[in-house]
Structure 1
Amino acid sequence: MELPQMPEMMGLSLLLGLLALMATAAVARGWLRAEEEKCGRPARQKANGLPPDKSSGSKKQKQQRIRKEKPQQHNFTHRLLAAALKSHGGNISCMDFSSNGKYLATCADDRTVRIWSTKDFLQREHRSMRASVELDHATLVRFSPDCRWDRIEPQSHGGNISCMDFSSNGKYLATCADDRTVRIWSTKDFLQREHRSMRASVELDHATLVRFSPDCRAFIVWLANGDTLRVFKMTKREDGGYTFTATPEDFPKKHKASIINIGIANTGKFIMTASSDTTILIWSLKGQVLSTINTNQMNNTHAAVSPCSRFVASCGFTPDVKVWEVRFGKKGDFQEVVRAFELKGHSAAVHSFAFSKDSRRMASVSKDGTWKLWDTDVEYKKQQDPYLLRTGRFEEASTTLCRLALSPDAQVLALASGSNIHLFNTRRGEKEECFEQVHGEAITDLSFDITGQFLASSGDRAVRIFHNTPGHRAVVEETQGLLKRASNESTRQMLQQRLTRAQEALKSLGPQKK
């Protein structure tokens, strides 16, 4: 038998051994590379200025990272800050004080409207009532006059608040946010430590505006995605609580541009909606369009219903504010919308305007860097024009879109630019207070309560309530002048009581600016 030659056997053995060594080395290199990658990745990321890999680390570390990455609530402090309402889970888009000064309503994109009690503003806890907006969220909110609520929940909005509205009886504040809720707050809790609210959910959408109805038995919201109005009724339960129920059908879609404001006449006769083009619609309470107004202002920046319910006004690209009268017959039937008067005097586009409580005064702010106060108690049917009472400088308005609020007695003008608030005395035209960086984002709504005691602002997920110290000082200044001229003893006593109340209010708020 013939055996293989020795050199051939040795060559074969060497070849097999070499292949085995190569395979072993490859496996070892792969393992070492994996270990190096595992251990060295954080160091390389740190050296390269990169964030650490979020997939690595323990469960506890991941939870800590999640908490750090959540949006932080903007903090703000000031000696005149009375309260910060922080129940919405989304950004607040609108707010409104009730006519009796007892409530504030806010809405946000958290699909809720919240009602707050103004009497809780000075308490540590601020409770609110929440109404949910089903399948949508409100962008505007307005109270009904009887202001009934659902249930009290120690919760806040989970999104930025877009709007707020006070009920006509002053008992509630409604807020809406992008957390698909509307919250109803009791104003009596404003000065309390806890601020409870009742929540209405907005299903599959969120509200950007909220307004109470005049009788406070309902509120309306503007749906961000649905682009329409939805009505919520507030019904009292046997246990004393209230239930928020959306009506079966929303208003029909009529606007072709984004909505800028909604309003309900205090008489309850009509609803107004205004869009960013040049359109204002006058609706019946049943959702029928009564009239369409073309403002001819290139674009609308603001529109509102006057407190007296006679007028609808708008401003925009043109340097004026246009005012129309909405006429009804003696039997309450709608007749027509006619031009009433215009505020003329600005030299550039008008950002915003506001009415006083009695509708006899109006204020406006323009891109020309000025604000103006007007006497609108005129015989406009005889072509009489409003009188200009005061012009003040506000340079921020020339570069930034501003919001405006006028105190009920027209003594104080509040202007918001960005996240700052400026308060002016309208009698002297002087700036008396400035609150800087009030919110973490631009201010979305600004409003005085019906009593003029508080000023509310919204911008992120909080509503901040300020003492209206310029208002108290204006009352002191005005009353002292009236006392010097008063000759009747009963009048003097009444004025002295008014003066004492204002002085005591100022004293309770600590040292004042000189």
Structure 2
Amino acid sequence: MDSTVLIGIIVTLALLVVAFFTYRANSTSNDDKPIEPVKKEAPKAKENKKKEEKKEVPHKKITKEDTPLRVGAFKGHTGTVTSHAVSSDGKYAATSSEDRTIKIWEIKTLKESDIKSIHIPIPYDHATAICFTADSRHLLVVLKEAEQVVAFKILPKKDDKGKQYQEAHRFPLDKSHAGDVKQIAASTNSKFVVTMSDDTKFNVWTIKGALLHTVDTSSVKNNKFLITPDSRFIAVATWSSEVKLWEVLYDKEGNFKEVKKTMELFGHSSTIHSISVSADATKIATCSKDHSWKVYNINVKNNSPNIIFAHQGEKEGGYDHVGLSEDARTVATTQGNLLTFFRHNPGNNTVDSLDTVTLLNTPLGLEWNEDQLFVYFNQGITVFSNPNPGTKKKGKK
């Protein structure tokens, strides 16, 4: 091999060796240096403010351990609950279901390990609406397929067949409604019964089933109705943004004569979902899709009701249900699965939010019984105590 070529090869190898060790030395030097943390730019104050506004306060869940307001529950249905009722004497709570049963619970046994109840099967049919009569001795039941109203008498104890109820009478609805009857209610003076479906009419009957009067509300759809505790008014919440009231007129003997439209409750800007009434029949609460609830004074002259107090909510979706306590000092509402209690302060006419509970399921309705709120679900009832307890309804034990 030529000496010149050999020298060239040796020089090239030497240069490669020098380059390799120089690279290793630089790498080791860089590894020994501490790694400086990457500096992040501080978020802008405006962005921080937005994040704080979106942050929500966690709500309590319905569990016996962490919700002091929860008193107990009545459970047992396997199908969707279609209707509910509490007897006027505060003794019973009842629910009907698509599972073809009706359950009547004794309220006083709520906290006992063995809750007492009356089980009424409805073979080949189911109830769409129920209510107690004024004397709390009968439960009126609307049957979907049979299109009849059945009155079940509640017995003080089980008979020789093991039943604590018996059929007292029944009457046909005679196609008087265009759709399924969603509500039934009996007046406290036992003079009449009202039924209502999703159409635009409601019917007035005698307890035995004679049709007394039919009223067209002239609305697209009827949502809810109630009979005031003094049996004076029938109030209907419709698809429109007002509640319409009909006054019940009686003859000289005190029997039902007719109903006459007497006043309307204005103030909402959208559909009214639910209504409730105070025990003294002077105040009506409403809740609407417009994210608000209101309480009206209907004990007025010249049929000019006025709003006593109200609340405008911030959560989208509107209020689904409203319950006005018997003394009208507490308002309970639901929005989805949120149950909120509000307190009215008459002195300065302000409204405070007392407690909000995140329910495990979306409720189907609310009903007060003295200082307890009955919240109805698909499988039964959960009972809460009033965080703003007041006076008890006269006549209740």
- TM bin, normalised by shorter chain, reads 0.7 to 0.9
Work out which of the residue numbers 82, 86, 107 in structure 2 matches 1:166.
Answer: 86
Structure 2: which amino acid aligns with 1:195? I
Report whether the alignment pairs 1:455 with 2:379.
no
Q: Secondary structure at the match of 1:247?
A: strand
Q: Normalization by structure 1: what TM-score?
A: 0.59
- Name 1:412's counterpart in structure 2: 330
Q: Normalization by structure 2: what TM-score?
A: 0.76
Contact 2:171 2:209 in 1 (8 A): no
Contact 1:228 1:253 in 2 (8 A): no
Q: CA deviation at 1:260?
A: 3.0
Q: 1:277-310, CA deviations, whole angstroms, 9 ceiling, x for partnerless residues? A: 2111111112122111111222111111111111
Change (3 A) 1:75 1:227: farther
Contact 1:231 1:250 in 2 (8 A): no
Contact 1:297 1:315 in 2 (8 A): no
Report whether the alignment pairs 1:350 with 2:339.
no
Contact 1:230 1:251 in 2 (8 A): no
Contact 2:177 2:197 in 1 (8 A): yes
Partners of 2:173 and 2:216 in 1: CA distance: 20
Partners of 2:270 and 2:385 in 1: CA distance: 32
Contact 2:170 2:209 in 1 (8 A): no
Report whether the alignment pairs 1:364 with 2:364.
no
Partners of 1:264 and 1:333 in 2: CA distance: 14
Q: CA deviation at 1:181?
A: 1.4
The total of aligned residue pairs comes to: 324
Structure 1: which amino acid aligns with 2:113? R
Q: CA deviation at 1:241?
A: 7.3
Q: Secondary structure at the match of 1:209?
A: strand
Q: CA deviation at 1:352?
A: 1.5
- Name 1:259's counterpart in structure 2: 181
Change (3 A) 1:433 1:245: same
- For the aligned residues, what is the CA RMSD? 2.3
- Name 2:244's counterpart in structure 1: 322
- Name 1:482's counterpart in structure 2: none
Q: 1:385-425, CA deviations, whole angstroms, 9 ceiling, x for partnerless residues? A: 012111201244x5256111110001111112223211111
Report whether the alignment pairs 1:180 with 2:100.
yes
Contact 1:92 1:176 in 2 (8 A): yes
Report whether the alignment pairs 1:297 with 2:219.
yes
- Name 2:33's counterpart in structure 1: none
- Name 2:132's counterpart in structure 1: 212
Work out which of the residue numbers 334, 337, 341 in structure 1 matches 2:256.
Answer: 334
Q: 1:421-444, CA deviations, whole angstroms, 9 ceiling, x for partnerless residues? A: 1111133322211111332xx311
- Name 2:199's counterpart in structure 1: 277
Work out which of the residue numbers 118, 121, 124 in structure 2 matches 1:201.
Answer: 121
Structure 2: which amino acid aligns with 1:408? E
Structure 2: which amino acid aligns with 1:387? N
- Name 2:76's counterpart in structure 1: 87
Runs of at least 5 residues in structure 1 that lack an aligned partner in the other structure:
1-73, 94-162, 476-497, 499-514
- Whichever of the two has the greater Rg, that structure is 2
Q: Secondary structure at the match of 2:389?
A: helix
Contact 1:279 1:293 in 2 (8 A): yes
Partners of 1:417 and 1:206 in 2: CA distance: 28
Structure 2: which amino acid aligns with 1:331? E
Work out which of the residue numbers 423, 440, 449 in structure 1 matches 2:341.
Answer: 423
- Name 1:446's counterpart in structure 2: 366
Larger helix proportion of the pair: 1
Larger strand proportion of the pair: 2
Partners of 2:340 and 2:280 in 1: CA distance: 23
Partners of 1:347 and 1:249 in 2: CA distance: 39
Q: CA deviation at 1:248?
A: 5.3
Structure 1: which amino acid aligns with 2:241? P
Work out which of the residue numbers 364, 384, 387 in structure 1 matches 2:306.
Answer: 387
Contact 1:361 1:410 in 2 (8 A): yes
Q: Secondary structure at the match of 1:266?
A: coil
Structure 2: which amino acid aligns with 1:230? V
Change (3 A) 1:85 1:235: closer
Partners of 1:249 and 1:281 in 2: CA distance: 14
Report whether the alignment pairs 1:466 with 2:384.
yes
Structure 2: which amino acid aligns with 1:423? F
Q: 1:308-352, CA deviations, whole angstroms, 9 ceiling, x for partnerless residues? A: 111101112221111001111131333211112111111222111
Q: CA deviation at 1:75?
A: 7.5
Partners of 1:253 and 1:454 in 2: CA distance: 38
Contact 1:91 1:461 in 2 (8 A): yes
Q: Secondary structure at the match of 2:191?
A: coil
Q: 1:240-299, CA deviations, whole angstroms, 9 ceiling, x for partnerless residues? A: 973322635544331002333211001111001112121111111121221111112221
Partners of 1:248 and 1:316 in 2: CA distance: 29
Change (3 A) 1:208 1:394: farther
Alignment identity in percent?
29
Partners of 1:172 and 1:455 in 2: CA distance: 14
Change (3 A) 1:289 1:376: same
Partners of 2:145 and 2:340 in 1: CA distance: 33
Q: 1:56-91, CA deviations, whole angstroms, 9 ceiling, x for partnerless residues? A: xxxxxxxxxxxxxxxxxx974423211011122322
Contact 1:419 1:459 in 2 (8 A): no
Contact 2:296 2:307 in 1 (8 A): yes
